[in-house]
Amino acid sequence: VMKFSTLFKIITIIILCFNLSNVIAQNISFIPEHTTLDDTLGSEMVFELELKNISAEEQTVFVVRSINNLPPDWSSSLCFDFCYPNTTDSIVTNSTFGSSPLQPDEVRAVSIHVYPLNNFGVGNLQLQAGTMRDPSNRIIVDFTANSFEVLSADDNISNSLSFELKQNYPNPFNNGTIISYQLEKAGDVKLKLYDILGNELMDLVNEFKSAGHHSYFLDASNLSSGVYFYKLESAGKIQTKKIVLEK
């Protein structure tokens, strides 16, 4: 028969281990504003999350895009401190990413942006967040992005498009930003970046594009802080927007 003191020690160890696992699991919180979004082709669906260090210690946090199942011609990109190209699947709050660990009670915004350029359908995405203290213990959030047909009164698909240059997102920005635009018909497209004096700095797009919605990721790692302008030109039409880079 097991002695009471031995049984008490075993129970105490189990409770301590359970509490320790809870402490590890509760280093951060990762709360989405929404997990399902519906919008039309050419839209930008933004899933926003709040990541918080709820521990009493500094935490180096990572976010991983673990699922990115999208219809053809769709893309998605992560924003965490900065916005990154759609090829970036993981971000860490360290100097490699120009970031820093989260202090106790510090909150930072995380978002994943989905661009359904063509083809109606459903996109499935997943983000995982954790700390470098216990990288195997992760918070997992799944997202669903739906793009649907917009029908007119007689149930015909509405194909009305206009020439439009949209404001970059985010703006102001630090490392990179996304420029979206819409073409009412196919044709040669020129998208250029200028400094505040009107000097051309970068030839972003210079090619034939189909009618519809398009986007371009601007990598500003080699640019200095300041005000710039980007100009879209196609089929004799021109639009210009201001952009603010803050480093």
The tens digit of pLDDT for each residue in 129-172 reads: 999 998 999 999 999 998 876 544 444 434 567 899 999 888 88
pLDDT tens digits for range 43-82: 888 999 999 999 999 999 999 999 999 998 899 999 998 8
Split at pLDDT 50, 70, 90, the class of 21 is very low
Q: Taking phi first (over 0 means left), then psi (-120 to 50 degrees means alpha), and beta for anything else, what does residue 11 get?
A: alpha
Give me the amino acid identity at 171: N
pLDDT of the residue at 14: 46
Give me the amino acid identity at 117: L
Read off the tokens for 17.
């281990």
Q: In terms of Cα–Cα distance, which of 178, 135, 181 is closest to 162? A: 181
Q: In terms of Cα–Cα distance, which of 241, 217, 227, 171 is closest to 195? A: 227
DSSP 8-state secondary structure symbol assigned to residue 206 = E
- In whole angstroms, give the CA distance from residue 126 to residue 130: 14
Split at pLDDT 50, 70, 90, the class of 5 is low
What's the chain's average pLDDT?
84
| Alpha carbon distance, N-terminus to C-terminus of the chain | 69
pLDDT of the residue at 221: 85
